[in-house]
Structure 1
Amino acid sequence: MQTLIDGGSIEIRINQELRHSDINRHLSEDFWTLLLFTGCLAIAKPVGDRKYLLRIPNEEIRDTFRNRVQARFSIENRSFAAHGLKLAEAAAWGNASGMADVLAPLLRIYVSLRDTAAIAPAENCCHDFLSALFACASNRINDFQSNAESGDGCADIVFSSGNNPNRFGVVIEIRRAAHPEDMLNAVDNALKQIDERKYAECLRRMRCRKYYAYGIVFCGKECEVGGGKLREID
Protein backbone atom coordinates (compact mmCIF):
# COMPACT_ATOMS: atom_id res chain seq x y z
CA MET A 1 0.00 0.00 0.00
CA GLN A 2 2.84 2.38 0.80
CA THR A 3 4.30 1.80 -2.67
CA LEU A 4 0.97 2.79 -4.24
CA ILE A 5 0.58 5.88 -2.07
CA ASP A 6 4.11 6.94 -3.03
CA GLY A 7 3.12 6.85 -6.70
CA GLY A 8 4.57 3.46 -7.59
CA SER A 9 3.03 0.31 -9.06
CA ILE A 10 2.61 -3.19 -7.62
CA GLU A 11 2.62 -6.49 -9.51
CA ILE A 12 -0.57 -8.48 -8.88
CA ARG A 13 -2.12 -11.66 -10.26
CA ILE A 14 -5.78 -10.80 -10.97
CA ASN A 15 -8.70 -13.10 -10.15
CA GLN A 16 -10.71 -12.55 -13.32
CA GLU A 17 -13.62 -14.65 -12.02
CA LEU A 18 -13.96 -12.92 -8.66
CA ARG A 19 -17.24 -13.67 -6.87
CA HIS A 20 -18.73 -12.16 -3.73
CA SER A 21 -18.16 -15.42 -1.84
CA ASP A 22 -14.43 -15.27 -2.65
CA ILE A 23 -13.93 -12.28 -0.34
CA ASN A 24 -14.29 -14.55 2.72
CA ARG A 25 -11.08 -16.34 1.71
CA HIS A 26 -9.09 -13.19 2.57
CA LEU A 27 -6.67 -13.73 -0.31
CA SER A 28 -4.56 -10.73 -1.26
CA GLU A 29 -5.20 -11.20 -5.01
CA ASP A 30 -8.96 -10.97 -4.38
CA PHE A 31 -8.54 -7.74 -2.41
CA TRP A 32 -6.48 -6.06 -5.13
CA THR A 33 -8.80 -7.41 -7.82
CA LEU A 34 -11.78 -5.86 -6.02
CA LEU A 35 -10.01 -2.48 -5.88
CA LEU A 36 -9.26 -2.76 -9.60
CA PHE A 37 -12.84 -3.69 -10.54
CA THR A 38 -14.26 -0.82 -8.46
CA GLY A 39 -11.96 1.75 -10.09
CA CYS A 40 -9.78 2.41 -7.04
CA LEU A 41 -6.80 1.02 -8.94
CA ALA A 42 -5.89 1.04 -12.62
CA ILE A 43 -3.74 -1.18 -14.81
CA ALA A 44 -0.37 0.39 -15.59
CA LYS A 45 0.62 -2.46 -17.91
CA PRO A 46 0.24 -6.24 -18.25
CA VAL A 47 3.23 -8.42 -17.36
CA GLY A 48 1.86 -11.83 -18.42
CA ASP A 49 -0.14 -14.82 -17.11
CA ARG A 50 -2.93 -12.76 -15.51
CA LYS A 51 -0.30 -10.55 -13.86
CA TYR A 52 -0.51 -6.77 -14.09
CA LEU A 53 1.19 -3.72 -12.69
CA LEU A 54 -1.46 -1.72 -10.83
CA ARG A 55 -1.37 1.92 -9.76
CA ILE A 56 -3.63 4.50 -8.14
CA PRO A 57 -5.27 6.32 -11.06
CA ASN A 58 -5.49 9.89 -9.70
CA GLU A 59 -4.63 12.21 -6.81
CA GLU A 60 -8.17 12.22 -5.40
CA ILE A 61 -8.09 8.45 -4.82
CA ARG A 62 -4.49 8.66 -3.59
CA ASP A 63 -5.53 11.20 -0.95
CA THR A 64 -8.38 8.94 0.13
CA PHE A 65 -6.03 6.00 0.57
CA ARG A 66 -3.52 8.17 2.45
CA ASN A 67 -6.16 9.54 4.83
CA ARG A 68 -7.58 6.08 5.54
CA VAL A 69 -4.15 4.61 6.27
CA GLN A 70 -3.21 7.51 8.53
CA ALA A 71 -6.49 7.21 10.43
CA ARG A 72 -6.03 3.49 10.99
CA PHE A 73 -2.31 3.35 11.78
CA SER A 74 -1.72 6.50 13.79
CA ILE A 75 -1.89 7.86 17.28
CA GLU A 76 -5.32 9.28 16.41
CA ASN A 77 -6.61 5.71 16.43
CA ARG A 78 -6.64 5.31 20.22
CA SER A 79 -6.93 1.53 20.14
CA PHE A 80 -3.99 1.12 17.77
CA ALA A 81 -1.94 3.67 19.73
CA ALA A 82 -2.56 1.76 22.96
CA HIS A 83 -1.13 -1.38 21.38
CA GLY A 84 1.93 0.58 20.26
CA LEU A 85 2.51 1.80 23.80
CA LYS A 86 2.22 -1.74 25.18
CA LEU A 87 4.71 -2.99 22.62
CA ALA A 88 7.19 -0.23 23.51
CA GLU A 89 6.75 -0.92 27.24
CA ALA A 90 7.50 -4.61 26.74
CA ALA A 91 10.58 -3.79 24.63
CA ALA A 92 11.80 -1.34 27.27
CA TRP A 93 11.58 -4.01 29.98
CA GLY A 94 13.38 -6.73 28.04
CA ASN A 95 10.13 -8.67 27.77
CA ALA A 96 10.32 -10.56 24.47
CA SER A 97 7.34 -12.78 25.24
CA GLY A 98 5.31 -9.69 26.17
CA MET A 99 6.09 -8.19 22.77
CA ALA A 100 4.86 -11.38 21.08
CA ASP A 101 1.68 -11.26 23.18
CA VAL A 102 0.98 -7.74 21.88
CA LEU A 103 1.73 -8.56 18.25
CA ALA A 104 -0.02 -11.92 17.85
CA PRO A 105 -3.66 -10.71 17.96
CA LEU A 106 -2.86 -7.59 15.93
CA LEU A 107 -1.71 -9.62 12.94
CA ARG A 108 -5.27 -10.83 12.42
CA ILE A 109 -6.87 -7.44 13.00
CA TYR A 110 -4.72 -4.96 11.12
CA VAL A 111 -2.59 -6.71 8.50
CA SER A 112 -2.72 -9.45 5.93
CA LEU A 113 0.80 -10.80 5.93
CA ARG A 114 0.04 -12.74 2.77
CA ASP A 115 -0.10 -9.37 1.07
CA THR A 116 3.49 -9.53 -0.17
CA ALA A 117 2.76 -9.38 -3.87
CA ALA A 118 4.67 -6.11 -4.28
CA ILE A 119 8.17 -6.26 -5.73
CA ALA A 120 9.65 -5.03 -2.44
CA PRO A 121 11.10 -7.62 0.01
CA ALA A 122 8.53 -9.54 2.05
CA GLU A 123 9.90 -8.11 5.33
CA ASN A 124 8.82 -4.61 4.32
CA CYS A 125 5.19 -5.21 5.26
CA CYS A 126 6.21 -6.32 8.78
CA HIS A 127 8.74 -3.50 9.07
CA ASP A 128 6.17 -0.82 8.20
CA PHE A 129 3.65 -2.32 10.62
CA LEU A 130 6.11 -2.29 13.52
CA SER A 131 7.24 1.24 12.67
CA ALA A 132 3.62 2.43 12.80
CA LEU A 133 3.16 0.83 16.21
CA PHE A 134 6.31 2.33 17.72
CA ALA A 135 5.43 5.74 16.25
CA CYS A 136 2.42 5.74 18.59
CA ALA A 137 4.67 5.42 21.66
CA SER A 138 6.50 8.75 21.44
CA ASN A 139 5.95 9.40 25.15
CA ARG A 140 7.82 6.19 26.02
CA ILE A 141 10.64 6.06 23.46
CA ASN A 142 13.06 8.56 21.92
CA ASP A 143 15.26 8.84 18.83
CA PHE A 144 13.24 6.34 16.81
CA GLN A 145 15.00 5.36 13.57
CA SER A 146 14.04 2.94 10.82
CA ASN A 147 16.75 1.45 8.57
CA ALA A 148 19.36 3.30 10.59
CA GLU A 149 22.93 3.17 9.30
CA SER A 150 24.95 1.61 12.08
CA GLY A 151 28.09 -0.50 12.34
CA ASP A 152 28.52 -2.53 9.16
CA GLY A 153 24.98 -2.17 7.84
CA CYS A 154 21.51 -0.84 8.56
CA ALA A 155 19.52 -1.79 11.64
CA ASP A 156 15.83 -2.33 10.95
CA ILE A 157 14.59 -0.42 14.01
CA VAL A 158 16.46 1.36 16.81
CA PHE A 159 15.35 3.73 19.55
CA SER A 160 16.30 4.84 23.05
CA SER A 161 14.34 5.04 26.27
CA GLY A 162 14.86 6.52 29.71
CA ASN A 163 16.99 9.44 30.85
CA ASN A 164 20.68 9.76 31.69
CA PRO A 165 22.33 8.02 33.43
CA ASN A 166 19.75 5.28 32.91
CA ARG A 167 19.20 5.74 29.19
CA PHE A 168 19.30 2.49 27.20
CA GLY A 169 18.70 1.48 23.62
CA VAL A 170 16.68 -1.08 21.68
CA VAL A 171 17.78 -2.74 18.42
CA ILE A 172 15.33 -4.83 16.40
CA GLU A 173 16.04 -7.06 13.41
CA ILE A 174 13.01 -8.28 11.43
CA ARG A 175 12.74 -11.49 9.44
CA ARG A 176 10.14 -13.51 7.55
CA ALA A 177 10.10 -17.32 7.72
CA ALA A 178 8.60 -19.53 5.04
CA HIS A 179 7.53 -22.20 7.53
CA PRO A 180 6.63 -22.10 11.26
CA GLU A 181 9.34 -24.63 12.09
CA ASP A 182 11.93 -22.17 10.73
CA MET A 183 10.96 -19.33 13.04
CA LEU A 184 13.22 -20.05 16.02
CA ASN A 185 16.28 -20.42 13.81
CA ALA A 186 15.36 -17.17 12.09
CA VAL A 187 15.18 -15.42 15.47
CA ASP A 188 18.66 -16.71 16.36
CA ASN A 189 20.02 -15.56 13.00
CA ALA A 190 18.48 -12.11 13.46
CA LEU A 191 20.15 -11.72 16.87
CA LYS A 192 23.42 -12.99 15.43
CA GLN A 193 23.23 -10.38 12.67
CA ILE A 194 22.76 -7.59 15.22
CA ASP A 195 26.00 -8.68 16.90
CA GLU A 196 28.07 -9.43 13.82
CA ARG A 197 27.21 -6.18 12.05
CA LYS A 198 27.50 -4.12 15.23
CA TYR A 199 24.09 -2.50 14.88
CA ALA A 200 24.25 -1.13 18.42
CA GLU A 201 26.99 1.35 17.51
CA CYS A 202 24.51 4.07 16.54
CA LEU A 203 23.19 4.04 20.11
CA ARG A 204 26.35 5.85 21.27
CA ARG A 205 25.02 9.00 19.59
CA MET A 206 21.88 8.58 21.69
CA ARG A 207 24.04 8.50 24.86
CA CYS A 208 23.12 4.88 25.61
CA ARG A 209 25.48 2.58 27.50
CA LYS A 210 23.31 -0.52 27.39
CA TYR A 211 20.74 -1.96 25.02
CA TYR A 212 18.22 -4.73 24.39
CA ALA A 213 18.44 -6.69 21.14
CA TYR A 214 15.39 -8.42 19.64
CA GLY A 215 14.84 -10.68 16.68
CA ILE A 216 11.23 -10.57 15.46
CA VAL A 217 10.16 -13.19 12.93
CA PHE A 218 6.83 -13.34 11.11
CA CYS A 219 5.33 -16.36 9.36
CA GLY A 220 1.80 -15.99 8.01
CA LYS A 221 -0.32 -14.92 10.98
CA GLU A 222 2.25 -15.99 13.57
CA CYS A 223 5.22 -14.24 15.09
CA GLU A 224 8.15 -15.17 17.30
CA VAL A 225 10.17 -12.70 19.36
CA GLY A 226 13.54 -13.52 20.91
CA GLY A 227 16.21 -11.65 22.81
CA GLY A 228 15.62 -9.14 25.57
CA LYS A 229 18.89 -9.58 27.46
CA LEU A 230 20.41 -6.27 28.58
CA ARG A 231 23.81 -5.86 26.91
CA GLU A 232 26.74 -3.49 27.29
CA ILE A 233 27.66 -1.42 24.23
CA ASP A 234 31.19 -2.37 23.23
Structure 2
Amino acid sequence: MSIKVEVQPGGPTGPGAQIAPSWPMLRTLAGIAILSGLLVVLVYQATKPIIAENERILTEQAVFEVLPGAVSKVDFVLTDQGLAPAGEGAVGVTVFAGFGADGRLRGIAFPGAARGYQDVIQFLFGYDPACECIIGSKVLRSTETPGLGDKIDSDPAFLENFVSLDASLNPEGTGLANPIVLVAHGTKTDPWQIDGISGATISGKAMARAANDAAERFVPNIRRDLAKLAAAAP
Protein backbone atom coordinates (compact mmCIF):
# COMPACT_ATOMS: atom_id res chain seq x y z
CA MET A 1 0.00 0.00 0.00
CA SER A 2 1.47 3.35 -0.96
CA ILE A 3 0.86 6.43 1.17
CA LYS A 4 1.04 9.88 -0.39
CA VAL A 5 2.16 12.89 1.57
CA GLU A 6 1.66 16.52 0.71
CA VAL A 7 3.79 19.50 1.56
CA GLN A 8 1.82 22.24 3.27
CA PRO A 9 1.20 25.17 0.92
CA GLY A 10 3.58 28.02 1.46
CA GLY A 11 5.82 25.93 3.75
CA PRO A 12 9.51 25.21 3.36
CA THR A 13 10.57 22.52 0.95
CA GLY A 14 14.02 21.71 2.35
CA PRO A 15 15.13 18.88 4.65
CA GLY A 16 13.32 20.43 7.64
CA ALA A 17 10.01 20.85 5.87
CA GLN A 18 6.83 19.83 7.76
CA ILE A 19 4.92 17.17 5.84
CA ALA A 20 1.17 16.90 6.41
CA PRO A 21 -0.36 13.41 6.26
CA SER A 22 -2.72 12.85 3.39
CA TRP A 23 -6.35 11.81 3.71
CA PRO A 24 -5.65 8.09 2.99
CA MET A 25 -3.16 7.99 5.88
CA LEU A 26 -5.62 9.61 8.28
CA ARG A 27 -8.34 7.25 7.12
CA THR A 28 -6.08 4.23 7.71
CA LEU A 29 -5.11 5.38 11.21
CA ALA A 30 -8.75 6.06 12.11
CA GLY A 31 -9.73 2.60 10.90
CA ILE A 32 -7.04 0.95 13.00
CA ALA A 33 -8.14 2.90 16.08
CA ILE A 34 -11.79 1.96 15.58
CA LEU A 35 -10.94 -1.70 15.03
CA SER A 36 -8.74 -1.79 18.14
CA GLY A 37 -11.48 -0.23 20.24
CA LEU A 38 -14.04 -2.69 18.90
CA LEU A 39 -11.78 -5.66 19.71
CA VAL A 40 -11.31 -4.40 23.28
CA VAL A 41 -15.08 -4.11 23.75
CA LEU A 42 -15.71 -7.57 22.30
CA VAL A 43 -13.06 -9.19 24.51
CA TYR A 44 -14.47 -7.40 27.57
CA GLN A 45 -18.01 -8.51 26.80
CA ALA A 46 -16.89 -12.10 26.17
CA THR A 47 -14.85 -12.38 29.38
CA LYS A 48 -17.15 -10.40 31.70
CA PRO A 49 -19.47 -13.32 32.59
CA ILE A 50 -16.48 -15.63 33.09
CA ILE A 51 -14.82 -13.15 35.45
CA ALA A 52 -18.09 -12.62 37.34
CA GLU A 53 -18.58 -16.36 37.76
CA ASN A 54 -15.01 -16.82 39.00
CA GLU A 55 -15.51 -14.02 41.53
CA ARG A 56 -18.77 -15.60 42.69
CA ILE A 57 -17.08 -18.95 43.25
CA LEU A 58 -14.18 -17.31 45.08
CA THR A 59 -16.54 -15.38 47.34
CA GLU A 60 -18.65 -18.45 48.07
CA GLN A 61 -15.56 -20.42 49.07
CA ALA A 62 -14.41 -17.53 51.25
CA VAL A 63 -17.77 -17.45 53.07
CA PHE A 64 -17.27 -20.98 54.39
CA GLU A 65 -13.66 -20.20 55.19
CA VAL A 66 -14.45 -17.20 57.41
CA LEU A 67 -17.46 -18.93 59.02
CA PRO A 68 -16.11 -22.19 60.48
CA GLY A 69 -18.77 -24.89 60.74
CA ALA A 70 -21.06 -23.37 58.10
CA VAL A 71 -22.16 -25.75 55.35
CA SER A 72 -24.82 -23.64 53.64
CA LYS A 73 -25.58 -19.97 53.18
CA VAL A 74 -28.41 -17.56 52.48
CA ASP A 75 -27.67 -14.24 50.78
CA PHE A 76 -29.01 -10.96 52.16
CA VAL A 77 -28.71 -7.41 50.94
CA LEU A 78 -28.11 -4.38 53.14
CA THR A 79 -30.58 -1.70 52.08
CA ASP A 80 -31.53 1.65 53.57
CA GLN A 81 -34.26 -0.15 55.51
CA GLY A 82 -31.97 -2.88 56.85
CA LEU A 83 -31.20 -6.43 55.77
CA ALA A 84 -33.47 -8.02 53.16
CA PRO A 85 -33.28 -11.39 51.38
CA ALA A 86 -31.40 -11.15 48.10
CA GLY A 87 -33.32 -11.67 44.89
CA GLU A 88 -36.47 -9.84 45.95
CA GLY A 89 -35.70 -6.60 44.16
CA ALA A 90 -33.54 -5.33 47.00
CA VAL A 91 -30.52 -3.28 45.98
CA GLY A 92 -27.42 -2.95 48.12
CA VAL A 93 -24.30 -4.70 49.38
CA THR A 94 -24.57 -8.47 49.75
CA VAL A 95 -23.87 -10.22 53.05
CA PHE A 96 -23.99 -13.96 53.67
CA ALA A 97 -25.68 -15.78 56.55
CA GLY A 98 -23.93 -19.12 57.15
CA PHE A 99 -25.68 -22.13 58.69
CA GLY A 100 -24.39 -25.38 60.15
CA ALA A 101 -25.64 -28.85 59.31
CA ASP A 102 -28.11 -28.52 62.21
CA GLY A 103 -29.65 -25.41 60.65
CA ARG A 104 -28.26 -23.12 63.33
CA LEU A 105 -26.86 -19.73 62.36
CA ARG A 106 -23.07 -19.88 62.53
CA GLY A 107 -22.40 -16.31 61.58
CA ILE A 108 -22.57 -13.64 58.93
CA ALA A 109 -19.91 -12.82 56.37
CA PHE A 110 -19.64 -9.25 55.12
CA PRO A 111 -17.22 -7.42 52.80
CA GLY A 112 -14.71 -4.72 53.63
CA ALA A 113 -12.13 -2.70 51.73
CA ALA A 114 -9.29 -0.25 52.37
CA ARG A 115 -6.36 1.12 50.45
CA GLY A 116 -3.05 -0.68 50.97
CA TYR A 117 0.40 0.11 49.60
CA GLN A 118 -0.37 -0.70 45.96
CA ASP A 119 -4.13 -0.43 45.61
CA VAL A 120 -7.44 -1.06 47.37
CA ILE A 121 -7.52 -4.44 49.14
CA GLN A 122 -10.86 -6.23 49.30
CA PHE A 123 -11.69 -8.50 52.24
CA LEU A 124 -14.41 -10.76 53.56
CA PHE A 125 -14.92 -10.94 57.32
CA GLY A 126 -16.86 -13.51 59.33
CA TYR A 127 -18.88 -12.30 62.34
CA ASP A 128 -20.34 -14.47 65.10
CA PRO A 129 -23.26 -12.79 66.92
CA ALA A 130 -22.89 -15.24 69.82
CA CYS A 131 -19.51 -13.81 70.85
CA GLU A 132 -20.02 -10.44 69.14
CA CYS A 133 -16.68 -10.89 67.46
CA ILE A 134 -15.02 -11.33 64.09
CA ILE A 135 -14.05 -14.99 63.71
CA GLY A 136 -12.43 -15.08 60.29
CA SER A 137 -10.91 -13.02 57.50
CA LYS A 138 -10.02 -13.57 53.86
CA VAL A 139 -8.38 -11.36 51.24
CA LEU A 140 -10.53 -11.45 48.10
CA ARG A 141 -8.43 -9.16 45.92
CA SER A 142 -5.00 -7.63 46.45
CA THR A 143 -1.99 -6.39 44.50
CA GLU A 144 0.29 -6.10 47.52
CA THR A 145 3.94 -7.09 47.26
CA PRO A 146 4.31 -10.90 47.29
CA GLY A 147 6.13 -12.08 50.40
CA LEU A 148 5.51 -8.82 52.25
CA GLY A 149 2.09 -7.20 52.02
CA ASP A 150 0.38 -10.50 51.31
CA LYS A 151 1.36 -11.81 54.75
CA ILE A 152 -1.97 -10.52 56.06
CA ASP A 153 -3.65 -13.47 54.34
CA SER A 154 -1.06 -16.16 55.05
CA ASP A 155 0.79 -15.56 58.32
CA PRO A 156 -0.74 -17.88 60.97
CA ALA A 157 0.22 -15.65 63.91
CA PHE A 158 -1.35 -12.60 62.31
CA LEU A 159 -4.52 -14.46 61.35
CA GLU A 160 -4.95 -15.45 65.00
CA ASN A 161 -6.08 -11.87 65.54
CA PHE A 162 -9.27 -12.73 63.64
CA VAL A 163 -10.24 -15.84 65.56
CA SER A 164 -11.99 -13.77 68.22
CA LEU A 165 -11.64 -10.05 67.43
CA ASP A 166 -14.01 -8.03 69.59
CA ALA A 167 -16.70 -6.22 67.60
CA SER A 168 -19.25 -5.57 70.34
CA LEU A 169 -21.52 -2.56 70.04
CA ASN A 170 -21.96 0.51 72.22
CA PRO A 171 -24.99 0.63 74.57
CA GLU A 172 -27.05 2.42 71.91
CA GLY A 173 -26.30 -0.28 69.34
CA THR A 174 -25.30 2.31 66.76
CA GLY A 175 -21.60 1.49 66.40
CA LEU A 176 -18.66 -0.35 67.87
CA ALA A 177 -17.95 0.08 71.54
CA ASN A 178 -14.23 0.21 70.72
CA PRO A 179 -12.61 0.88 67.34
CA ILE A 180 -10.66 -1.99 65.78
CA VAL A 181 -7.05 -0.82 65.47
CA LEU A 182 -3.63 -2.18 64.58
CA VAL A 183 -0.98 -1.93 67.29
CA ALA A 184 2.76 -2.55 67.19
CA HIS A 185 3.75 -6.19 67.30
CA GLY A 186 3.81 -7.52 70.85
CA THR A 187 1.86 -4.61 72.38
CA LYS A 188 -1.70 -5.93 72.07
CA THR A 189 -3.57 -5.60 75.37
CA ASP A 190 -7.26 -5.52 74.38
CA PRO A 191 -9.46 -7.91 72.38
CA TRP A 192 -10.36 -5.24 69.79
CA GLN A 193 -6.70 -4.67 68.90
CA ILE A 194 -4.83 -6.36 66.05
CA ASP A 195 -1.26 -7.38 66.81
CA GLY A 196 0.86 -6.01 63.97
CA ILE A 197 3.14 -7.96 61.66
CA SER A 198 6.63 -6.97 60.54
CA GLY A 199 7.08 -6.33 56.84
CA ALA A 200 3.40 -5.63 56.20
CA THR A 201 2.61 -2.58 58.30
CA ILE A 202 0.71 -0.69 55.59
CA SER A 203 -1.30 -3.76 54.59
CA GLY A 204 -1.99 -4.54 58.26
CA LYS A 205 -3.29 -1.02 58.85
CA ALA A 206 -5.49 -1.36 55.75
CA MET A 207 -6.91 -4.60 57.11
CA ALA A 208 -7.66 -2.99 60.47
CA ARG A 209 -9.39 -0.04 58.80
CA ALA A 210 -11.40 -2.37 56.59
CA ALA A 211 -12.48 -4.51 59.55
CA ASN A 212 -13.40 -1.48 61.64
CA ASP A 213 -15.34 0.32 58.90
CA ALA A 214 -17.14 -2.85 57.80
CA ALA A 215 -18.10 -3.76 61.37
CA GLU A 216 -19.34 -0.22 62.02
CA ARG A 217 -21.54 -0.49 58.95
CA PHE A 218 -22.84 -4.04 59.13
CA VAL A 219 -22.86 -5.20 62.76
CA PRO A 220 -25.58 -2.76 63.99
CA ASN A 221 -27.86 -3.99 61.19
CA ILE A 222 -27.00 -7.62 61.91
CA ARG A 223 -27.85 -7.23 65.59
CA ARG A 224 -31.13 -5.48 64.78
CA ASP A 225 -32.20 -8.09 62.20
CA LEU A 226 -30.69 -11.13 63.95
CA ALA A 227 -34.02 -12.93 64.31
CA LYS A 228 -34.68 -12.51 60.59
CA LEU A 229 -31.26 -13.91 59.75
CA ALA A 230 -31.58 -16.90 62.09
CA ALA A 231 -35.01 -17.77 60.68
CA ALA A 232 -33.70 -17.92 57.11
CA ALA A 233 -32.05 -21.33 57.52
CA PRO A 234 -32.26 -23.24 54.21
Q: Does TM, normalized by the shorter one, top 0.5?
A: no
- TM-score in terms of structure 1 length: 0.33
- TM-score in terms of structure 2 length: 0.33
**Structure whose residues are more often helix by fraction:** 1
Bigger Rg, structure 1 or 2: 2
